[in-house]
Amino acid sequence: MIQRPCLPALALIVMAVSAPAMAAPKAASRPAPKPTAPPVPYTVRKGDTLFDLGKAYLSKPGDYRHVQRANQISRPKGLKPGSTLRIDPDLLKTTPIAARLSAFSGKVEIETEGRRAPAQLGMAIQEGQRVVTGPGAFATFELEDASRVTLPSNTAIRVERLRNVVMTNAPQRVFRLDEGRGTISATPNPDPNARFDVRTPVSISAVRGTEFRVSADQAASDSAARAQTMVIKGAVAVATADAEPARDLAGAVQAGYGVSVAAGAVSAPVALLPAPRLGEGGQTQGDKSVHFAVQPVTGAAAYRLQLSRDAGFVDLFAEATQPGPAADFGALENGTYFVRLTALDGGGLEGLPADYSFDRDLDVLEPGASPTAQAEGKHRKFLFRWNAAGDGQRSYRFQLFTGAESSRPVVDQPGLSEPQLTLVDLPPGTYGWRVSALRFKDGKVTEKVGPLQTLQIGR
């Protein structure tokens, strides 16, 4: 008799940035080809019959007749132990693989049978659905084996297959990237019957367990479409959309290399650019705008920076792709974040990543407008103002110089609690003034010195 395999308990975990604004992904313009798979081998055991196989492993018990014809078996009960049956995978009984949306930001929609609905954190992602990210949006969904798919802005991916074959206990995970980009981390699975494929209109990337990126450029025709696969860890077998990649990963693209697929051909592997280094001061962000400088990488045509709330880059929330080695992300709430740096070569292949943590602690000290004389009786008053932003309490020091900054200040007033000071009857001349601030926060004292400002009184 046949014993049905005992499936392992499901363990659910999950793992998803902003490119320059582009049009939001449209519905797929070309029909997605049905994922194909080779026949699944089954080794006959003593006592097996096609009737029992049909009941245990086929979606419809009566489909054993298809197996009988495909394997040219004369008698359903006359199976030879040790022989191998080849079974159409579409006939096999399966169970769904659980997947959940673990993180997202911005406008993310889940499309089911052509109808879109707003994403919700923790919602199930099922076979047949599409995950669509709009401009400035990001999403990550994770499978029960901790494999994850992370999508940046303007991306659409369809879940073609997300099931576990009962007969082999082998997961089948097939995704179609209609357009945009995706970073995939596939948990290793040594089972030769397991599948983890990412398809584009022109390519197929197949893995056993690795971390890689796939991009797909939508075009008016398949002949003009282009896709790229970049391998961070492990190896990825890449083939054109009309071919079947080598499941044994023979000739696979190795870690640190990438390929392009266009016009029905896969390019030779190209070495990915090395991981960039973060410029000085990038891990402490106190200015109004979060800004990063990157040490230039030889051969880079552009740089991509991604921000995440977690070290695993699951919860991405911003991305910038710039021609120069720097990027500005604007204002950001205080906290600890993470930045990922990559360099892109002239062909668009994205290089190896470098990840850094950074502390966002707003601490701004800015001079106000240059003061003007305000007459009050026989006196002229000059009101100096400045601005401060960020948590904590501050004590200010105001200094006024005549001539060079290195000279002794004519006014040196520490201990100011308000961001302003009035001086009376300053004689004509050229002055320089500046403000420094002592900030008291979390038991620590830090000092920030503002820039020197020039003030001209009279001629």
Q: What is the mean pLDDT of residues 150-172?
A: 95
On whether residue 413 sits in a domain, the answer given is yes
- Does 167 share its domain with 256? yes
**CATH number of the domain that residue 51 is part of:** 3.10.350.10
Task: Judge if 215 and 184 occupy the same domain.
Answer: yes
Q: Residue 245: its pLDDT value, please?
A: 78
Q: Is residue 385 part of a domain?
A: yes
The pair phi, psi for residue 367, each rounded to 5°, is -75, 145
CATH, residue 340:
2.60.40.10
370 and 225 in a common domain: no
Choosing from 28, 58, 87, the residue where a domain stops is 87
What's this model's pTM, rounded to 2 decimal places? Answer: 0.82
One domain, residues 151 and 250: yes
Yes or no: say if 153 and 307 are a contact pair by the CB < 8 Å rule.
no
If asked whether residues 162 and 46 sit together in one domain, one would say no
Q: What is the mean pLDDT of residues 262-280?
A: 94
Q: In the predicted model, is pLDDT for residue 33 greater than 90?
A: no
Classify residue 353: in a domain, yes or no.
yes
| 53 secondary structure, DSSP code | H
Mean pLDDT of the 153-172 span: 94
Which residues lie below 8 Å from residue 354, measured CB to CB, with a gap of 6+? Answer: 275, 276, 277, 278, 340, 341, 342
Is the pLDDT score of 333 beyond 60?
yes
Instruction: Look at residue 117 in the predicted model and tell me its pLDDT.
Output: 97
pLDDT of residue 263: 80
Q: Residues 267-284: what's their mean pLDDT?
A: 96
pLDDT at 31: 46
Contact, 313 vs 355, CB < 8 A? yes
Query: Per-residue confidence at 109, pLDDT binned at 50, 70, 90?
Result: very high
Overall domain count for the chain: 4
- Residues 233 and 266 placed together within one structural domain of the fold: yes
Contacts of 430 (CB under 8 A, 6+ apart): 402, 403, 454, 455, 456, 457
Assigned domain for 18 exists: no
196-212 average pLDDT score: 93
pLDDT band at 223 (very low <50, low <70, confident <90, very high): low
What value does the mean pLDDT take over residues 327-356?
97
Dist CA 273 CA 276 (whole Å): 9
> Measured between alpha carbons, how far is 173 from 322 in angstroms, rounded to an integer?
34
Q: Within a domain: residue 175?
A: yes
Q: What is the dihedral of CA 261, 267, 270, 273, to 10 degrees?
A: -30
pLDDT-based confidence at residue 193 (cuts at 50, 70, 90)? confident
Residue type, 440: F
**Which residue range forms the structural domain that includes residue 72?**
41-87
- Do both 180 and 316 map to the same domain? no
Pair (230, 100) in one structural domain: yes
Measure CA of the first residue to CA of the last residue in the chain; give whole Å: 107
| Share above pLDDT 90 across residues of the chain, in percent, rounded to a whole number | 78
CATH (domain of 242): 2.60.120.1440
Q: Which of 321, 317, 283, 319 is nearest to 301 (CA)?
A: 321
Final residue of a domain: which of 256, 271, 286?
A: 271
Q: State which of 255, 271, 287 marks the end of a domain.
A: 271
pLDDT of residue 17: 29
Minimum mean pLDDT among 2-6, 61-65, 288-292, 411-415: which range?
Answer: 2-6
Is residue 316 a contact partner of residue 359, using CB atoms and an 8 Å limit?
no
Provide the percentage of residues in the chain whose pLDDT is more than 70: 90
In a domain, 15, yes or no: no
Residue 89 phi/psi, 5-degree rounding, is -60, -25
Q: What is the mean pLDDT of residues 239-264?
A: 86
Please indicate, yes or no, if residue 12 is contained in any of the structural domains: no
Residues, the chain, total? 459
Report the pLDDT value the prediction gives residue 403, as an integer from 0 to 100. 72
Regarding beta strands 195-199 and 170-186, do their DSSP bridges make them parallel or antiparallel, or are they unpaired? parallel
Q: Is 381 left (phi over 0), alpha (psi -120 to 50) or beta?
A: beta
User: Is residue 349 pLDDT above 80, yes or no?
Assistant: yes
The token pair at 73 is: 């078996």
Residue 205 lies in a domain: yes
Task: Please indicate, yes or no, whether residues 163 and 222 belong to a single structural domain of this protein.
Answer: yes
Same domain flag for 234 and 155: yes
Q: Say if residue 73 is in the same domain as residue 154.
A: no
For residues 148 and 264, state if they share a domain.
yes
Contacts 24+ apart (CB under 8 A), 364-370: 364/286, 364/287, 364/288, 364/388, 364/389, 364/390, 365/435, 365/436, 365/437, 365/448, 365/449, 365/450, 366/450, 367/433, 367/434, 367/435, 367/450, 367/451, 367/453, 370/453, 370/454, 370/455
